[in-house]
């Protein structure tokens, strides 16, 4: 029984990885940077995406793909800002997969976009197993969840290109040791950036925006060099 289960999981993940690679190629062709944002429920994914949109909307053309088990509450909130938003309901599934993302990408006008944020289903476990084809993965951990989560859910943090510690406005009320936290992340993933932020007050958001801008410029320059075309769109 155990061997069969393992084989099935390998097949599912193998098929998912193939679709994820195709998604990445599609995005590269259209020179769109996609960032997969993962976290547990209630850590502030939507709030941070809204804060990011507010800061970047005059410079970058943004869309959001929202993953939830049910409802279109988050996509409706994003749409009210005049930002294209696609809601995916997994109907009980605890994560998005590359095929769902491909459907969403096919319904977006990729030539009219620079940046896509995926808000994955709130879950610190299975979302990390499924490559969606995003060029970068971001993990949000909020202060009330505690600074021990990387030890309990390591896969998520190993996959992350950046870790955002959200809700730093409530640090005085919790035992989250922010000073020691970057060293914990380094133990799992030496190259991940760690940014303390408050989506509510805006504190620390400058550093996250700077990271995003650097990633976007690097991505655009690399795509431009690959295609032998100019990179003025990245300016
Ligand atoms: Mg949300």
Residue 175 has pLDDT above 80, yes or no: yes
The CATH number of whichever domain residue 97 belongs to comes to 3.40.50.300
| Distance between Cα 41 and ligand 1 center (Å) | 7
45 part of a folded domain: yes
Distance 144 CA to ligand 1 centre (A): 17
| Higher local confidence (pLDDT), 229 or 216 | 216
Per-residue pLDDT reduced to its tens digit, 19-30: 999 999 999 999
Q: Separation of 49 CA from ligand 1 center, angstroms?
A: 9
Let me know if residue 138 belongs to a domain: yes
pLDDT grade for 157, boundaries at 50, 70 and 90: very high
* Residue 147 CA to ligand 1 centre (angstroms): 21
Residue 57 covered by a domain: yes
With 50 as the cut, is the pLDDT of residue 235 above it? no
Task: Using alpha carbons only, give the angle 102, 14, 187 rounded to the nearest 5 degrees.
Answer: 95
Span from the CA of 67 to the centroid of ligand 1 (angstroms): 8
The contacts of residue 37 (CB under 8 Å, 6+ apart) are: 45, 48, 49, 117, 118, 119, 120, 138, 139, 140
- Structure confidence at residue 12 as a pLDDT band (50, 70, 90): confident
> Which pLDDT score, from 0 to 100, does residue 38 have?
97
101 lies in which domain range? 18-206
Burial 134-144 (b: 16+ CB within 10 A, else e): bbbbbbbbbbe
Residue 65 lies in a domain: yes
Q: How many domains does the chain have?
A: 1
* 123 C-alpha to ligand 1 centroid (Å): 11
Residue 229 lies in a domain: no
Residue 34 pLDDT: 98
CA 181/CA 185 separation, integer angstroms: 6
Does residue 221 lie within any of the structural domains?
no
Distance from Cα 222 to the centre of ligand 1, integer Å: 32
Task: Kindly give the distance from the C-alpha atom of residue 178 to the centroid of ligand 1, in angstroms, as a whole number.
Answer: 24
Asked whether residue 147 is domain-assigned, the answer is yes
The pTM of this model reads: 0.91
229 CA distance to ligand 1 middle (Å) = 37
Tell how far the Cα of 80 is from the centroid of ligand 1, in angstroms: 15
Average pLDDT value for residue range 14-20:
94
What is the average pLDDT across 213-221? 91
Average pLDDT of the residues in 196-224: 94
Residue 215 within a domain:
no
């Amino acid at each position: 029984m155990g061997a069969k289960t393992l084989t099935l999981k390998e097949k599912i993940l193998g098929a998912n990885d193939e679709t994820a690679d195709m998604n990445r190629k599609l995005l590269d062709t259209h020179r769109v940077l996609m960032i997969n944002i993962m976290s547990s429920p209630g850590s502030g994914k939507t709030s941070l995406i809204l804060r990011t949109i507010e800061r970047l909307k005059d410079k970058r053309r943004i869309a959001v793909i929202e993953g939830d088990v049910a409802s279109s509450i988050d996509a409706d909130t994003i749409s009210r800002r005049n930002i294209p938003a696609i809601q995916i309901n997994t109907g009980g599934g605890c994560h998005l997969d590359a095929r769902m993302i491909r459907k969403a990408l096919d319904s977006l006008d990729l030539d009219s976009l620079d940046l896509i944020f995926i808000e994955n289903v709130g879950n610190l476990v299975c979302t990390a197993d499924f490559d969606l084809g995003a060029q970068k993965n971001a993990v949000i951990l909020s202060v009330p969840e505690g600074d021990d989560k990387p030890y309990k859910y390591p896969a998520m943090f190993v996959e992350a290109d950046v870790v955002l510690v959200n809700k730093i406005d409530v640090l005085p009320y919790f035992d989250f040791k922010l000073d020691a936290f970057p060293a914990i992340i380094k133990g799992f993933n030496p190259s991940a950036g760690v940014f303390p932020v408050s989506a509510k007050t805006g504190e620390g958001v400058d550093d996250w925006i700077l990271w995003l801008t650097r990633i976007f410029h690097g991505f655009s320059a690399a795509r431009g060099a690959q295609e032998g075309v100019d990179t003025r769109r990245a300016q």
